[in-house]
Amino acid sequence: MYENIDALAVVRSTSPDEPITLLRPHAATRAARFFVEKFQGKSLYAVKANPSPALLELLWDAGITHYDVASLGEVRLVNKFLPDAKLCFMHPVKSERAIAQAYHNHGVRTFSLDSHEELQKIVRATKGATDLELCVRIRVSSEHAKLSLASKFGADPSEVADLLVATRQVADALGICFHVGSQAMSPAAFAEAMGHVRAAIVKASVTVDIVDVGGGFPSVYPGMEPPDLESYFDVIHTMFEDLPISYSAELWCEPGRALCAEYASLLVRVEKRRGRELYINDGAYGSLFDAAHVGWRFPVTLLRSNTAIGTQMAEFSFYGPTCDDMDYMAGPFILPDDIKAGDYIEVGMLGAYGCAMRTEFNGFGETETIIVEDAPMATLYGDVRDNDAVHRPMRTSTSHQ
């Protein structure tokens, strides 16, 4: 473990043969404090974005007390490291065994659903429990998002009213939730979705206790520069205040990418150059899954101390280290035109999904982890107090990397 250094210092001191994950705990803490201070509701960290125990504990210490879990494995993980956290099982399709174990063994009381069949499973698995918080997920558009989440989950508008009425009959607290898609580039995504929430409540004539606006809060990437996050919060809160809901209703959100994208980056070495193609030692089966499979453009920088000012820049694509032709990242990634084998590149904003999607295919995938204290390549968090003013509950588990 190395501390108090930046990415270039890592290259100078180690000249690593293998990829290195660079962690910035201060960036994750800053993002969490931003949501705790500025979102006028409860923020649930979407664990799937990065399930690192160290990150979970960082977010807890920064004031995030609720966690969006999508599997029994995530339930067990968070419960192990944060036994006092509130777990919300927000996957709309679960096995009865998973529901039962979450409820009876891990104290989960919050579940989402998008069908009558799922509602019946929850009732059976919890043995008719009367202390359930049940959130009906409705289908909304992902047209403002870079990655759609509109096709797999969500009750159809024609089914929502009946499902809300049925759920209200067995729920201690009734919620409505939705997801506008990943990396929503406009607050209009949430305004339009909240319009659907209003229509559903009016049609069903039920008392709603929770409105969960899901995730989709963006981070900054090349070609993706969203408005400031407070503009999203303002739209959400204004729409929430205008809903016909219980006077004590709670507003929730489920940030994943927004809380952890700036937490980590990746240090890779160029093993070969072929024209505008660079062969690097991580790729599609490692931390760069999204760069390969959904064409995500991550920020990159050449870590070389003697690059001359005014050096010409060029567009490059990457090949990863495996023997698979699919291990290819089209980019384009903008780097100095004189880059060569043996040079090191930092790939930024990989705290979200990069670490979570990594495999060991073809014998690759192991990375060392180093803590650095320099700034992430981009940020949306420029106005958060860097002090201990945010109340944080005492953590009862020990830190793991």
Per the annotation, the verdict on 323 as an active-site residue is: yes
Please give the chain's pLDDT, 401 residues, in tens. 444 588 888 888 888 899 999 999 999 999 999 999 999 999 999 999 999 999 999 999 999 999 999 999 999 999 999 999 999 999 999 999 999 999 999 999 999 999 999 999 999 999 999 999 999 999 988 788 787 777 788 898 899 999 999 999 999 999 999 999 889 999 999 999 999 999 999 999 999 999 999 999 999 999 999 999 999 999 999 999 999 998 899 999 999 999 999 999 999 999 999 999 999 998 998 899 999 998 899 999 999 877 666 789 999 999 999 898 899 999 999 999 999 999 999 999 999 998 888 888 887 777 788 999 999 999 999 744 444 333 333 333 333 34
Task: State CA 82 to chain mean position distance.
Answer: 18
Would you state the structure tokens that stand for residue 66, as one six-digit string?
């609720």
Say how far apart CA 387 and CA 32 lie, in whole Å: 13
Q: Which residues of 275-307 are buried (b: 16+ CB within 10 A; e: fewer)?
A: eeebbbbbbbbbbbbbbbeeebbbbbbbbbeee
Structural domain boundaries in the chain: 7-22+262-371, 26-260
Res 145: pLDDT: 73
* Residue in 135, 177, 260, 323 annotated catalytic: 323
CATH of domain 7-22+262-371: 2.40.37.10
The C-alpha torsion from 104 through 106 and 110 to 116, rounded to 10°, is -40
The number of beta carbons lying within 10 Å of the beta carbon of residue 40 is 12
Judge whether 7-22+262-371 and 26-260 match in fold. Answer: no
Res 309: pLDDT: 66
CA torsion through residues 33, 178, 41, 224, sign: positive
26-260: which CATH topology? TIM Barrel (3.20.20)
Give the H or E element holding residue 166.
helix 157-170
For 300, phi then psi, to 5°, come to: -135, 155
Predicted TM-score of the model (pTM): 0.90
Would you state the structure tokens that stand for residue 56, as one six-digit string?
């979970």
Q: Which of 148, 161, 249 is nearest to 189 (CA)?
A: 148
* 177 within 8 A of 112, measured Cβ to Cβ: yes
